[in-house]
Chain A
Amino acid sequence: MFKNYIKLAWRKIKADKLFSVLNILGLSIGLGITLLLFLFVFHETSFDTMYPKRDRIARVLLHTTDQQISETWCASPSAVGPSFQKEIPEIEKTVRFYHYAFGQPASISVNDKELIEPRFFYADESIIDVFDLKFIQGNPKTALTRPNTIIISESSAKRYFGNLNPIGKQLKLENYQDFEITGVFKDFSSNSTIDCNVVASFKSTHFAKNPSWGNASFETYVLLSKNANLTSVEKKMAKLIKKEVIDPWYTFSLQPFPKVHLYSADYSDSYTARIGNIEEVRNLSFLAVLILIIACINYMNLITARSQKRHKEIGINKTLGASTKSIVGRFYAETGLITLISVIFSLILAILAIPLFNRVTGIELDYKDLFTLPFIGSLLITWIVTTLIAGSYPALHLSQLAPNVIVKSVFKTKTSGILVRKGLVVFQFTASVILIIGVMVVYQQINFIKNRDLGFNPDKIIAVSIGAAENKTSINSLKNKLLNSSNIVGVSSAQGFPGVDVSGRDIINPITKNGHNIQTNNTDAEIVKVLNLKLLAGKTLPKNKAKGDSIVDVILNKKAVDFLGISPNEAVGKRVQLGLGDNAYIRGVVDNFNFSSLREPIGAYAFHNDNSRGLHNYLLVKFQGTHIASILEEIKDNFEEIIPNAAFQYSFLDKNLERFYTSERRMASIGLTFSILAVFIACLGLFGLAAFTAEQRSKEIGIRKVVGASVFKITKLLSLDFLTLVAISLVLAFPLAAWLMNSWLQNFAYRIELSWVVFIVAGVIAIVIAIATVSFHAIKAAMANPVKSLKTE
């Protein structure tokens, strides 16, 4: 019997090629997206599950309030680790992480090669035990106990040394620090928050010598004892801070390690490149289920569209003795076969789409994960669930028909059935229109951000990493060489630039004694010119500064001066307290500029020339002309001449700023793909309903034609019905979309206003697509010979 069902189902699929293709296409796309997103959700929720001690590990979070806005940082001061471990009995171990140069790629030389190592970390030796690093070579007990020792990942070892044994070899960082390689560990997997390629012992940094409660730049993890109570540990932490720090500007809390990946999207200063977002996981899961439902709805629509023929067939089978059960079985067999084919196609689609998905999202999904047991299990469940959902309507509705349908020449469908189907199409179109509007608004906002006046000009500026320069003289001679070029109009050296983190300090209002967060950037006189900042008062930093000069010149932005409660002109010449010693004087004031994401309002910012703060990290080169390749070549040649043995690394300021919006971009491109597919699937549904209606009304159309209706009139008659459905969808979708997009735009301090044009365009798109879809059947029905439709009577 079962074999017979399958045979019949297969012949049905073959007999109705167009409909089978539409069905399978719709379901495959829906299932393909679901698979891909399943994989994504699997990947995201599997984060950090490989660490045996994960339930006892927690990350220290720092909370600080800048006027009304409170922030949470993932980095804490370097004293936090050692003192917590010493004073709080429940904290067994602590690991401090410091990403080289606050997150910059490191230029290293190893095995006579110059390389860029983007993930160069310092960490306490406890990392090996807390995170159970698997050593391939070297002794995990002693690998990081000494200063200037370093362990490297298996893939880095391969990259640096090929098949040579790396143990005992030297690794030179930025031409000034030598490390001895003492171990090779198995790579952190792609679903690990900890993502170091090389780990140098924390003792190698100058931060290790005098742990401070000031500079919050160290991501700190703690290993708690078994059965430790998080709240009581946090209480002890607060008590400790009260004792150790005078007037702290922060408080601490603990974040359980299993929550780190998905629940940290709003926290800043995390060193990992892999930050997940539970919201994103939820949204995408929701969208995946929605698309799957839309695809199932299509299946039902398309199948019931053929129901007139089905009615006859069910009637025959019933008169031949088929029970309701066997009819239900047949419909499910047919649905099951179609969904099975779709599952196979969707698997192929998903595998093909993975590289694209990875490129768009920056997530590393692996197609091999598709063939793991839990995944195959969920695939089977998806198949069964889809079959049950998609097959429910035809199986349960049609099988209830009495055998007498066979002798009724005109069958009447209950209006409720039609209503349900129309409702489903309205649902599909509403969802599609919302998606179309959403995508347009997101793109508009991204464009708005791109073209906004930032208060400085990031165009045509190249930031060259000069961390490997030996001293100030070589930086200056590189500057002078570059300035000789006709293509280069300005060069400034600086600690950082808008778009990268610089040092966070406190500026003190001398009257109220209140403190305020301020970003400080150690730089030179050229910075105002290179960034094209607007000087409101005073002058830029002095060109030359004597070596022993203890005076620090400061340029503040308007926001910082506002905090001090004085006008820009009054500010010039005043002494200012911002953690740069007692001899810091305001030399100039520049207008506000967006040094961070446009999601945040502009904060206080200062440029200064305190030479005691180390060498500058970047050379900011402003160029003119459009021959970027030759300009880069010119800069590179000069760079290699003056700073040999270092890799040349650069970025463009405008490109660098765009990275603030990668998650918006990512959502926009996923959203765009989803919308196109959702609209496509919705069209399949409409196509099915149009076919159904045309079939149902064939007699009416025949009569109308016999009494003289033109093809155009009939096409109009049929199409108008569907346009009504689309119009209802628009009415439902517009307010919903407006509400959704307005709440999304609230995330931005600088945002566009929703324009009615977007709604008009989305509406027109939906209507045009609907007309194109429906008119096929409408015209076909209108052209049909009325004799055919009338003779069955």
Chain B
Amino acid sequence: MMLLELDHIYKWVTTGGRRTFLLNDLSLKVEEGDFISIMGPSGSGKSTLLNVIGMLDGFQEGEYKFLDETIHNMKEKHRSKLYKEYIGFVFQQYHLIDELTVYENIETPLLYKSVKSNERKALVGDMLDRFNIVGKKDLFPNQLSGGQQQLVGIARALISKPKLILADEPTGNLNSKQSDEIMQLFKQLNEEDGVTIIQATHSESNAAYASKIINLLDGSIAKS
């Protein structure tokens, strides 16, 4: 089943009266259950593409359908509903909320979905179990290592049972061992839970975990 579809997307910035294309006539179809790695050199548009898919950023031309809904003219409110329902984000800088404990960070998306207290407790408890971080639940982000923080970040992204996880250089700040663990986890999520994953990465070995690799160059998908 089709999850999302980008159709001839153009995105540019104008500097000194000249357009610099960040995404140039880019088309992409993502099926439910895909695990896609986006690769490419710096400045090729990996992050921009992820941001467009994640609706964090707009574009100038083209069409973007998510679950057969056209989203690029969508209201902010509607979009925030989509995040809640279908999309989880994992960031290179983890972006945990500093003032909240591990437990509370993971719980936050459920609060925004107005999930009942008992149910929240059960869901967060399951997630802590699954990631083996029960003992760390009352710690604050600055008390954790980078790998642990990213685990919490992923747990938080998964808690609302999203159909799609968008990960921008999820292991960019981690060492190779931690990096492998995270990738194993992604693979497992994809295969066992059927979560669609799109990740941007520099690393060939990380990219290899995916079932499909897209190479970007100057904002377009390179033919391979």
* A12 beta carbon closer than 8 Å to chain B: yes
A15: which B residues are within 8 A, CB to CB?
A: 98-99
Q: Which residue of B lies closest to A12 (CB)?
A: B99
Least Cβ distance of A488 to chain B in Å?
77
Q: Verify if A673 is at the interface (C-beta below 8 Å from B).
A: no
Stretch at the interface among B6-14, B77-85, B173-181, B185-193: B77-85
- For A315, list chain B residues within 8 Å (CB): 95
B82 to chain A, nearest CB (A): 9
Closest B residue to A323 by CB, please name it: B80
| CB-based contact B97/A316 at 8 Å | yes
> Quick one: CB contact mask for B53-74 with A, threshold 8 Å, 1 for yes?
0101100000000000000000
Binds A, one of B15-23, B109-117, B144-152, B210-218: B109-117
Chain A residues whose C-beta falls within 8 Å of the C-beta of B3 in the assembled complex: none
Give the B interface residue count (CB, 8 A): 27
Across the interface, do B57 and A8 meet the contact criterion of CB distance under 8 Å?
no
Interface Cβ pair total, 8 Å cutoff: 62
Report the Cα distance A618→B21, complex, angstroms: 99
**One of A73-81, A351-359, A401-409, A625-633 contacting the partner:** A401-409
Q: Measured between alpha carbons, how far is A15 from B99 in the docked complex, in Å?
A: 8
Task: Tell me which of A11, A317, A321, A406 contacts B56 (CB under 8 A).
Answer: A406
B80 touches A321 (CB 8 A): yes
A residues less than 8 Å from B27 (CB atoms): none
Query: In the complex, A316→B89 CA distance in Å?
Result: 9
Query: Which single member of B77, B96, B100 contacts A323 (CB below 8 Å)?
Result: B77
Q: Within 8 Å CB of A403, what residues of B?
A: 56, 83
Determine the chain A residues whose CB is within 8 A of the CB of B98 once the complex forms: 15
Report the minimal beta-carbon distance from A72 to chain B, rounded to whole angstroms: 65
Are B56 and A319 in touch, CB under 8 angstroms? yes
Q: What A residues does B96 contact at CB under 8 A?
A: 316
Whether A324 pairs with B56 at a CB distance below 8 angstroms is no
Known pairs A324-B76, A406-B56, A407-B47; A317 contacts B108 (CB<8 A): yes
B51 contacts the other chain (CB 8 A): yes
Our pick among B81, B89, B91, B97 for the contact of A313 (Cβ within 8 Å) is B97
State A639–B89 Cα separation when bound (angstroms): 95
B206 contact set on A, CB distance < 8 A? none
Decide: A8 near B100, CB < 8 A? Known: A320-B83, A403-B56, A407-B56.
yes
Contacts of B111 on A, CB cut-off 8 Å? 1, 4
Task: For A421, list chain B residues within 8 Å (CB).
Answer: none
B158 to chain A, nearest CB (A): 12
Interface assignment of A312: CB less than 8 Å from any CB of chain B:
yes
- When the two chains form the complex, which single residue of B47, B99, B108, B113 contacts A11, counting CB atoms closer than 8 Å? B99
User: B57 contacts which chain A residues (CB < 8 A)?
Assistant: 404, 407
Q: Does B44 contact A (CB under 8 A)?
A: no
Asked whether any CB of chain A lies closer than 8 Å to the CB of B220, the reply is no
B112 near A321: Cβ-Cβ < 8 Å: yes
CB neighbours (8 Å) of A320 from chain B are: 83, 89, 108-109, 112, 156
Q: Mark A1-29, 1 if CB is under 8 A from B, else 0.
A: 10010001001100100000000000000
Residues of chain A at interface, number, CB under 8 A: 24
| A12–B96 CA distance with the chains assembled, in angstroms | 15
B160 at the A/B interface (Cβ < 8 Å)? yes
Give Cα A406–Cα B166 distance, bound, in whole angstroms.
14
Binary CB contact string for chain A from 300 to 327 against chain B (1 if under 8 A, 0 otherwise): 0000000000001101111111111010
Question: Whole-angstrom distance from the CB of B149 to the nearest CB of chain A?
Answer: 13
| Residues of B with C-beta under 8 A to A313 | 97
Q: How far is the CA of A8 from the CA of B108 in the complex (A)?
A: 11
Q: Which of A315, A326, A402 has the most B CB atoms < 10 Å from its CB?
A: A402
Assess the B99–A323 pair: CB atoms within 8 A. no
| A406 to B47 Cα, complex, angstroms | 12
The answer to whether B47 touches A321 (Cβ under 8 A) is no
A392, B113: Cα distance in complex, Å: 26
Nearest residue (CB) in A for B156 is A320
Q: Which chain A residue shows the least CB distance to B81?
A: A321
Chain A window 405-419, contacts with chain B (Cβ cutoff 8 Å), 1 for yes, 0 for no: 011000000000000
A296 to B77 CA separation, bound complex (whole angstroms): 30
Assuming A1-B111, A321-B113, is B83 touching A8 (CB within 8 A)?
no
* CB neighbours of A323 from chain B (8 A): 77, 80, 112
Q: Judging by beta carbons under 8 Å apart, are B51 and A404 in contact?
A: yes
A406, B99: Cβ atoms under 8 Å? no
CB neighbours (8 Å) of B47 from chain A are 407
Name the distance in Å between B198's Cβ and chain A's nearest Cβ: 15
Contacts of A321 in B (CB 8 A): 80-81, 83-84, 109, 112-113, 160
Task: Give 6 nearest A-B pairs by CB, closest first.
Answer: A321-B84, A321-B112, A11-B99, A404-B56, A320-B109, A321-B83
Chain B residues within 8 Å of A, Cβ to Cβ: 47, 51, 54, 56-57, 76-77, 80-81, 83-84, 89, 91, 95-100, 108-109, 111-114, 156, 160
**What are 6 pairs between A and B in contact, CB < 8 Å?**
A8-B100, A317-B97, A317-B112, A319-B54, A321-B160, A403-B56
Q: A315-B95, A323-B77 are in contact. List 19 more A-B contacts (CB 8 A).
A: A1-B114, A8-B99, A11-B100, A316-B96, A317-B108, A317-B112, A318-B83, A319-B54, A320-B108, A320-B109, A321-B112, A321-B113, A321-B160, A323-B112, A402-B76, A403-B83, A404-B51, A404-B56, A406-B91
